[in-house]
């Protein structure tokens, strides 16, 4: 391979390597470490290599550079990438629902309408949280111009809310749960209240991997689906996952993950993750309105549904966890 | 002579720049990559920013923040550095703290900045200040400590007040070295502008870069932001170097 | 207070820490002398014997290893604006013009007064036309004159001068000597003056301290009771000069380094 | 004398540190905030890291990256800077490029680093190199250009080869100033370690800070990372300053 | 080639750009002279007249505004290792020890050869015991001797010296003069020597160039045909010396600045 590697090859993932999957330490990507962990417990070794990143840009750039053939990604970002000609396909969802908008508990904001004139922090322009605000405002006869939207790295949101530097924050978990757990954040809305079955993150793979490493992709999708169902099977599973993910993958306080996964239990859901056209059409419509997509691509272009023949047929992992360690 | 000088001053760097641009373009083309933008794509990105009226806005916003943060850093760093350089006890007392604080990333300071300054322009200004004040202070301290002994002796001989001593001897004697420190610090101030503009500001060249990195595949805009910062850095450095032409500091420079 | 010792050096020793070997460089040994108020004392001695070191200790820029140095009855704690030093190395501030350098010690004076004094000394050292020049635009001798003018302009009680006329040509030097003596006589200053020119020492001073080779002791002190203005052809002058010459020759002959021990007659055939 | 020196060198900064710690503790207590950790909580965080065996691992990982990036920066920056400082045409040709490159944030370079070096240790090393090579080069250029004319003349008189000239005159004449530049650059190298370790590395003090930030409310660990970086910065600066004691550079420093 | 002009200065003019006013400082005007190979030429003149400037132009460190300077038949393009300059400002490298400084021009020699030469010149300038000292540990006169030794050690064909003995005491100075003349005689060097000491000029040189005040022209050139070793009491010596004295006095009297125009007799009463 004499090609100059200096500016990256065209997403040519090296086939010899273990299948790499990028993720961030957020609850939206929880199925990634869960799948890996259960696999290692059951089979002694994982069949893919989860690569943990610390922020969206690096994650995406590593994907674009061809370092890994698959990654969790913001849904609107994945769609926009396809539109920009990046050979990427959404094959499965990361979760449904799963975020919230928090206000300070002492603030006078009780309804979405009260956000008028307030400062609201979102992670970035391509986050679905931002689109969700578009939707929420539109449904109440308001527009984005009625609020002051700022962008901020999610890790800084708790401090910003605590010090009331902003009036409201919204991002992936666990940052929202943290504010609630610490007693100064109050939920203004959970995503399910505004946008039932909300999707924030999706699993994407490169066209190249779909063509050349189909079996790996299929195994990955199956694994994610199985662990999603496993998570939603019992609350014990969620508590178990909180422990091992917090300890081995996220280096967070397990208490925090337990909180996010249980208060309320449907704050975030990991079932029903097959990509559906109507969901994405709704996202796309909002994305066009929000100016992050043109609308030159469609569901069939950016989603490959062929890896999920029948989502309902997939069974959760038959793994009961390492109970003794919980004592 | 002047004709020749002007020629080399303009033509040489332009030649180097042209070569670099060609190399960049060739490298991207040869690699067959479609991720990294080619020079003309970056140019197109800049033009697009101009058309949207964003470029000027972003440049002004970043210049505003850097100017404030950096000016504060100079106003505090130079006197503080001179002071520490001159008074041994002050140096002993505060130098370890300075050496501890200066390698700490502005990113680590972001929570503090938000806590203190909320989501205002003051937060990035604070971060820029923090990153640039230490190089300035360190160079001022070193400059005082390296002053030629004979000037020190002459100065001490005339019974100046402390203020006069600083104003009339220590400052001018150290200025050539301090200007070098200031030039380095100015680069550092811009170096952290991207980190500083992570804080909920919706403008600035740092924001442009963050935003473009967040966007799908807009590396043309990332590079556009880098190019703009580079150009501004070049101009500001030229301006600071004009200081070296003043009679009060010219003594410190060999005749070129 | 008149005729009281202004400078008293008692049993002064000085050595510098040796670089690598750890052995020290002994520079001054058992130095004792006094300078009365209003006296003009010259210090002569071979190169590297410790003249600058001695003057720097008296001036408060260095600290002796042992012994006392009192100036005006007080132990010397540091430099003092009433005692101005003219350095052997050029101590003119390169960031100030000639005018600003000469006016440096006059910050307390009003602007016009300062201007007057500065103009006077610029005139005296013959730097008219170079008022606004920076030191880098001056010749070696001109820089030296700026430093002398700066010291005189500050109007100190005591002046310490370390080879101040070293870079001046013969004529300028004569003029500077005459000016210095005039100022010293009219303003009753105390002057300690290091020089390597024995004629200069005899022309200027009341007493000449002849130092021996390093480690330097005071070889002899030669009093010069010749009337001023001094007649350089008078027998007294010539005799005093030759006494110092031979004292210095002696100081070499008793030094360890016999190679350097040139007899006085060395001045004859070159 | 030495007794007194040792006393001030240790007791004074410790006193200042103690005061600062007290002030910090009081500020957090008074503000009633529970976000910011108090000093003892940070200490607990550090102890926890030690118990987990992470602290040493992280320190070693960051030291490894910074050492590589910084050493490369010194090895390239100093000769390059001396070269540009000495040859007017080279300065004319390359200085504008340097001034353009040096204010560009390492964060903006991350995409390039990932493209070139993938997610390996080389990527952060590259970023650290990039951030520290320019301060070093700028200070070396300035040092050459400010060399005392008389040394230049004496040097030119003896008909040295170019290499001898650099090795035996220009380098030693500029070393005191270059060391100041190196000290500043060492701070800058650490300043960017957090940004550099954003690239999917799972060790290092920068990673610790990012990771702790991602963990919701582990500011005790964020501050622990800051403190560790600060302590390392202090130690490294002390080491670099030992260079000033060498005979070859001592001439450049006033006797302290 | 013997007796051919080694240094030829033809119609040399030099002015420095005036600082603020834009008016220039005219330093040299219409300078014409030649130095034959193997000749010892001294340059004397009032402080600030342009002696260092002239020497720097000949040495290739400055460029004249007008006129030609040829050395060994070639226009001077820059400094050359066969022509070593001893600077008026101290040009000793502060980062090198005495030994390293003196051996600086001997990089091409083998290690032991270099050590031998260095030892020889350290001995000659009387710096034994200071081989490993750094310049900051030396006195003013010792630094000057290091620089002289460094120049002589390089064994150049031509030596340009700008007040090389200015900071030396009387005895050391005599010894250095004798050594310089010996080296010059035995090794047939060409020497251009700036001094402010007229006696020194007469003792050393074949010809003395007397420069006028700034803008400097060549006032007179005094040939000294006295046999060596020179008898400093001989009538010829005294007569030559006085001719130069009066030429220099003249040069002052015709200067613009009447204040400085001290008559020769000024050397009498101080
Ligand atoms: N900082 C120093 N460290 C070590 N030795 C020193 C230092 N300063 C001076 N010396 C030594 O002290 C001795 C006396 O030096 P000093 O400058 O007093 O001589 P001097 O009589 O003024 O000579 P000169 O006439 O050449 O100026 C010299 O041998 C010198 O090497
Ligand atoms: N770089 C410069 N810029 C402007 N003027 C200068 C510069 N260098 C020298 N001059 C002027 O040129 C004149 C001659 O200086 P030069 O150093 O040649 O004198 P000199 O004869 O060597 O005197 P001295 O005996 O005092 O060393 C002086 O009037 C000085 O002010
Ligand atoms: Mg001396
Ligand atoms: Mg001169």
For chain B, 256 residues long, give each residue's pLDDT as a single digit of tens. Answer: 445 566 777 888 888 889 988 988 888 888 767 778 888 889 988 998 899 888 998 999 999 999 999 999 999 999 999 999 988 888 988 998 899 899 988 888 888 888 788 878 888 999 999 999 999 999 999 999 888 888 888 888 888 888 888 888 888 888 888 998 999 999 889 988 888 888 867 888 888 888 888 777 788 888 999 999 999 999 998 898 888 777 677 776 654 3
Half-sphere exposure of A200 (CA within 13 A, CB side): 31
Please indicate whether residue C48, judged by its CB atom, sits closer than 6 Å to ligand 1. Answer: yes
* E162 Cα: distance to centroid of ligand 4 (angstroms): 7
Closest by Cβ to A62, choosing from D34, D119, D214: D119
Write the pLDDT tens digit of every residue in B80-97. Answer: 999 999 888 889 889 988
> What does the pLDDT read at residue B76?
95
Protein residues whose CB sits closer than 6 Å to any atom of ligand 2: C 136-142, 167, 169; E 16, 25, 27, 45, 47-53, 88, 196, 214
> What does the pLDDT read at residue E268?
43
Which residues of B, range 177-236, sit inside 8 Å of C by Cβ?
A: none
> What does the pLDDT read at residue C262?
43
Q: Do D110 and A58 touch (CB under 8 A)?
A: yes
> What does the pLDDT read at residue B81?
94
Distance, in angstroms, between D8 CA and closest chain E CA?
A: 28
Determine the average pLDDT of the residues in E218-224: 88
Report yes or no on C101 lying in a domain: yes
Report yes or no on C266 lying in a domain: no
* C145 Cα: distance to centroid of ligand 4 (angstroms): 13
Q: How many residues does chain D have?
A: 256
For residue E155, which of E82, E205, E101, E102 has the smallest C-alpha distance? Answer: E82
Q: Do D138 and B183 touch (CB under 8 A)?
A: yes
Measured CA to CA, the distance from residue D209 to residue D54 in angstroms comes to 13
> What does the pLDDT read at residue C266?
41
Residues B198 and B172 reside in one and the same domain = yes
pLDDT along chain C (270 residues), means of 10: 74 82 80 91 90 92 90 88 87 90 88 92 90 88 91 91 87 87 89 90 91 86 86 84 80 45 43
* E47 Cα: distance to centroid of ligand 4 (angstroms): 7
Q: Do B158 and C61 touch (CB under 8 A)?
A: no
> What does the pLDDT read at residue A323?
57
Closest residue (by CA) to atom 5 of ligand 2? C137
Helix, strand or coil, per DSSP, at residue A305: helix
Asked if A172 and A28 touch (Cβ cutoff 8 Å), the reply is yes
Q: Do A6 and D115 touch (CB under 8 A)?
A: yes
Write the pLDDT tens digit of every residue in D103-157. Answer: 998 888 888 888 788 878 888 999 999 999 999 999 999 999 888 888 888 888 8
Measured CA to CA, the distance from residue B61 to residue B56 in angstroms comes to 8
Please indicate whether residue E128, judged by its CB atom, sits closer than 6 Å to ligand 1. Answer: no
Residues B90 and B212 reside in one and the same domain = yes
Distances, alpha carbon D148 to alpha carbons B252, E91, E222, in Å: 8, 10, 37
Q: Do B119 and A7 touch (CB under 8 A)?
A: no
* C15 Cα: distance to centroid of ligand 1 (angstroms): 10
Q: Provide the residue range defining the domain that includes C57.
A: 7-227
Q: Do B27 and A57 touch (CB under 8 A)?
A: no
Residues of C in contact with B150 (CB under 8 A): 87, 89-91
Report yes or no on B256 lying in a domain: no
Residue with tokens 């059409």: A281
Residues of B in contact with A6 (CB under 8 A): 27, 31
E67-82 burial, b at 16+ Cβ within 10 Å, e below that, comes to bebbbbeeebeebbbe
Residues D130 and D80 reside in one and the same domain = yes
Q: Provide the residue range defining the domain that includes B164.
A: 37-250
Residues of E in contact with C259 (CB under 8 A): 123, 126
Bond preceding residue E222 cis, omega within 30 of 0: no
Domain count, chain D: 2
Can you state the percent helix, strand and coil of chain E, rounding each to 5?
Answer: 35, 25, 40
Q: Do chains B and A touch (3 or more CB pairs under 8 A)?
A: yes
Residues D15 and D51 reside in one and the same domain = no
Q: Which two tokens stand for residue A188?
A: 């203004």
Q: Touching check for D159 and chain E: CB below 8 Å? A: yes
> What does the pLDDT read at residue B4?
57
Asked if E229 and E185 touch (Cβ cutoff 8 Å), the reply is no
Residues of C in contact with E126 (CB under 8 A): 257, 259-260
Which residues of E, range 126-155, sit inside 8 Å of D by Cβ?
A: 134-136, 154
> What does the pLDDT read at residue C98?
93
CA angle C58, C62, C67 (to 5 degrees): 60
Q: Kindly provide the ipTM of the predicted complex, given to two decimals.
A: 0.85
Q: Which helix (H) or strand (E) holds E250?
A: helix E235-253
Q: How many residues does chain A have?
A: 327
Asked if A3 and A13 touch (Cβ cutoff 8 Å), the reply is no
Q: How confident is the model at residue E22 (pLDDT cuts 50, 70, 90)?
A: low
Ligand 1 pocket: which of C51, C89, C201 to mutate (most atoms within 8 A of CB): C51
Report yes or no on B155 lying in a domain: yes
Residues D3 and D47 reside in one and the same domain = no
Residue in A with minimal Cα distance to B34: A10
Report yes or no on C172 lying in a domain: yes
Residues B56 and B144 reside in one and the same domain = yes
Contacts of residue E179, defined as CB under 8 A and 6 or more positions apart, other chains included, come to E124
Residues B161 and B243 reside in one and the same domain = yes
Report yes or no on D57 lying in a domain: yes
CA angle B144, B145, B150 (to 5 degrees): 80
> What does the pLDDT read at residue C250?
62
Report yes or no on B225 lying in a domain: yes
DSSP C216-245: B-EEEEEE----SS--TTSHHHHHHHHHHH
* A1 Cα: distance to centroid of ligand 1 (angstroms): 70
Task: Specify the long-range contacts of residues E255-259, CB closer than 8 Å, at least 24 apart.
Answer: E255/E46, E255/E212, E255/E213, E256/E213, E257/C126, E257/C128, E257/E213, E259/C123, E259/C126
Q: Do D192 and B190 touch (CB under 8 A)?
A: no
Nearest atom of ligand 2 to the alpha carbon of E50: 18
Given a cut of 70, is residue E255 above it in pLDDT? Answer: no
> What does the pLDDT read at residue A161?
85
pTM: 0.87
Q: Which of B143, B147, B155, B157 should we substitute to test contact with C (largest number of C Cβ atoms within 10 Å)? A: B157
Closest by Cβ to D115, choosing from B36, B96, B145: B36
Helix, strand or coil, per DSSP, at residue E154: coil
Q: Which helix (H) or strand (E) holds E7?
A: strand E5-16
Report yes or no on E261 lying in a domain: no
Residues D27 and D120 reside in one and the same domain = no
Contacts of residue D62, defined as CB under 8 A and 6 or more positions apart, other chains included, come to D193, D197, D203, D204, D205, D206, D229, D232
Report yes or no on D255 lying in a domain: no
Residue in C with minimal Cα distance to B246: C95
Q: Which helix (H) or strand (E) holds C131?
A: none
Q: Do E204 and C270 touch (CB under 8 A)?
A: yes
Report yes or no on E74 lying in a domain: yes
Residue in C with minimal Cα distance to B173: C95
Residues B105 and B172 reside in one and the same domain = yes
Report yes or no on D137 lying in a domain: yes
Distance, in angstroms, between C231 CA and closest chain E CA?
A: 6
Closest by Cβ to B216, choosing from A9, A86, A166: A86
Asked if A119 and A168 touch (Cβ cutoff 8 Å), the reply is yes
**pLDDT < 50: residue spans in chain D:** 1-2, 255-256
Nearest atom of ligand 2 to the alpha carbon of E49: 21
Domain count, chain C: 1
> What does the pLDDT read at residue B67?
93
Residues D59 and D14 reside in one and the same domain = no
Q: What SS3 string covers A79-134?
A: HHHHHCCCCEEEEEECCEECEEEEEECCCCCCCHHHHCCCEEEECCCCCHHHHHHH
According to DSSP, the residues that pair with B238 across neighbouring strands are none
Q: Do C270 and E174 touch (CB under 8 A)?
A: yes
How many CB atoms are located within 10 Å of the residue D18 CB?
Answer: 10
Residue pairs between chains A and D whose CB atoms are closer than 8 Å: 84
Closest by Cβ to D211, choosing from A26, A58, A251: A251
In degrees rounded to 5, what are phi and psi of residue C63? -120, 130
CATH number of D173's domain: 1.10.3720.10
Residue pairs between chains C and E whose CB atoms are closer than 8 Å: 176
> What does the pLDDT read at residue B66?
92
Please indicate whether residue E141, judged by its CB atom, sits closer than 6 Å to ligand 1. Answer: yes
Q: Touching check for B51 and chain A: CB below 8 Å? A: no
Residues D101 and D156 reside in one and the same domain = yes
Average pLDDT for chain B? 86
Helix, strand or coil, per DSSP, at residue D123: helix
Report yes or no on E263 lying in a domain: no
Report yes or no on B255 lying in a domain: no
Report yes or no on B22 lying in a domain: yes
CA of C168, nearest ligand number: 2
Report yes or no on C252 lying in a domain: no
Which residues of E, range 101-120, sit inside 8 Å of D by Cβ?
A: 104-105, 107
pLDDT along chain A (327 residues), means of 10: 42 60 84 82 77 82 82 86 84 82 86 85 82 84 84 82 85 83 84 80 86 83 84 81 82 81 80 81 83 81 81 75 52
Q: Do B154 and C85 touch (CB under 8 A)?
A: yes
* E166 Cα: distance to centroid of ligand 4 (angstroms): 11
Helix, strand or coil, per DSSP, at residue C264: helix
CATH number of C91's domain: 3.40.50.300
Residues B10 and B126 reside in one and the same domain = no
* E137 Cα: distance to centroid of ligand 1 (angstroms): 6
Closest by Cβ to A158, choosing from D111, D199, D217: D217
């Amino acid at each position: 391979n004499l090609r100059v590697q200096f500016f990256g090859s065209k997403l040519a993932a090296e086939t010899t390597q273990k299948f790499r999957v990028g993720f961030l330490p957020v609850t939206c990507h929880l199925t990634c470490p869960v799948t890996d962990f259960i696999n290692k417990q059951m089979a002694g070794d994982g069949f893919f290599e989860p690569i943990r990143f610390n922020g969206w840009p690096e994650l995406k750039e590593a994907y674009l550079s061809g370092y890994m053939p698959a990654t969790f990604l913001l849904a609107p970002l994945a769609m926009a990438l396809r539109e920009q000609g990046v050979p990427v396909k959404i094959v499965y969802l990361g979760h449904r629902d799963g975020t919230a908008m928090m206000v300070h508990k002492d603030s006078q904001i009780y309804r979405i309408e009260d956000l008028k004139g307030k400062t609201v922090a979102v992670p970035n322009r391509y986050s679905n949280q931002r689109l969700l605000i578009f939707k929420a405002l539109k449904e109440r006869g308001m527009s984005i111009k009625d609020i002051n939207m700022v962008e901020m790295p999610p890790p800084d949101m708790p401090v910003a809310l605590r010090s009331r530097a902003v009036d409201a924050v919204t991002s992936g978990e666990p940052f929202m749960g943290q504010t609630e757990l610490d007693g100064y954040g109050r939920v203004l809305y959970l995503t399910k209240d505004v946008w039932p079955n909300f999707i924030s993150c999706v699993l994407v793979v490169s066209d190249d991997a779909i063509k050349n490493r189909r079996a790996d992709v299929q195994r990955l999708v199956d694994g994610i689906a199985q662990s999603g169902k496993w998570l939603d099977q019992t609350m014990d599973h969620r508590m178990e996952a909180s422990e091992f993910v917090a300890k081995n993958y996220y280096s967070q306080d397990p208490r925090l993950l337990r909180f996010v996964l249980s208060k309320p239990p449907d704050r975030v859901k990991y079932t029903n993750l097959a990509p559906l056209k109507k969901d994405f059409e709704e996202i796309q419509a909002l994305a066009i309105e929000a100016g992050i997509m043109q609308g030159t691509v469609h569901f069939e272009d950016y989603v490959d549904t062929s890896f999920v023949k029948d989502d309902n047929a997939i069974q959760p992992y038959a793994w009961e966890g390492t109970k003794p360690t919980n004592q | 002579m002047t004709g020749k000088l002007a020629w080399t001053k303009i033509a040489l760097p332009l030649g180097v720049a042209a070569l670099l641009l060609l190399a960049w373009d060739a490298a991207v083309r040869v690699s067959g990559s479609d991720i990294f933008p080619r020079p003309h794509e970056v140019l197109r990105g800049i033009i697009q920013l101009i058309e949207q009226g964003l470029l000027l806005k972003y440049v002004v916003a970043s210049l505003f923040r850097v100017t404030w943060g950096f000016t504060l850093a100079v106003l505090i760093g130079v006197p503080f550095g001179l002071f520490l350089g001159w008074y041994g006890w002050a140096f002993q007392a505060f130098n370890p703290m300075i050496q501890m604080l200066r390698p700490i990333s502005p990113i680590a300071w972001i929570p503090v900045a938000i806590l203190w300054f909320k989501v205002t322009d003051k937060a990035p200004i604070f971060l820029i200040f923090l990153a640039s004040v230490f190089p300035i202070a360190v160079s001022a301290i070193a400059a005082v400590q390296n002053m030629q002994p004979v000037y020190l002796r002459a100065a001490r001989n005339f019974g100046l007040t402390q203020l006069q001593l600083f104003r009339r001897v220590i400052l001018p004697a150290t200025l050539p070295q301090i200007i070098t420190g200031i030039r380095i610090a100015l680069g550092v101030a811009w170096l952290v502008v991207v980190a500083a503009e992570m804080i909920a500001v919706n403008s600035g060249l740092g924001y442009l870069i963050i935003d473009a990195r967040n966007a799908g595949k807009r590396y043309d805009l990332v590079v556009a932001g880098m190019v703009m910062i580079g150009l501004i850095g070049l101009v500001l450095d030229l301006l600071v170097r004009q200081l070296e032409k003043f009679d009060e500091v010219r003594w410190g420079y060999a005749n070129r | 207070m008149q005729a009281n010792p202004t400078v008293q050096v008692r049993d002064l020793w000085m050595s510098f820490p040796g670089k690598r070997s750890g052995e020290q460089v002994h520079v001054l040994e058992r130095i004792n002398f006094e300078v009365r108020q209003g006296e003009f004392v010259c210090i002569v001695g071979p190169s590297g014997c410790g003249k600058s070191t001695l003057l720097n200790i008296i001036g408060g820029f260095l600290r002796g290893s042992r012994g006392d140095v009192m100036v005006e009855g007080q132990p010397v704690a540091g430099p003092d604006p009433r005692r101005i030093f003219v350095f052997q190395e050029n101590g003119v501030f390169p960031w100030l013009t000639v005018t600003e350098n000469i006016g440096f010690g006059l910050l307390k004076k009003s602007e016009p007064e300062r201007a007057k004094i500065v103009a006077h000394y610029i005139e005296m050292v013959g730097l008219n036309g170079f008022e606004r020049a920076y030191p880098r635009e001056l010749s070696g001798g001109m820089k030296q004159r700026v430093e002398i003018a700066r010291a005189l302009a500050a109007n100190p009680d005591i002046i310490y001068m370390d080879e101040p006329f070293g870079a001046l040509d013969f004529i300028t030097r004569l003029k500077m000597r005459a000016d210095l003596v005039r100022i010293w006589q009219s303003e009753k200053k105390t002057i300690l003056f290091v020089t390597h020119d024995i004629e200069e020492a005899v022309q200027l001073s009341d007493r000449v301290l002849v130092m021996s080779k390093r480690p330097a002791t005071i070889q002899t002190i030669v009093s010069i009771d010749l009337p001023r203005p001094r007649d350089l052809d008078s027998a007294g002058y010539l005799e005093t000069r030759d006494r110092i010459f031979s004292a210095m020759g002696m100081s070499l002959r008793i030094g360890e380094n016999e190679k350097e021990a040139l007899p006085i007659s060395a001045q004859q055939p070159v």
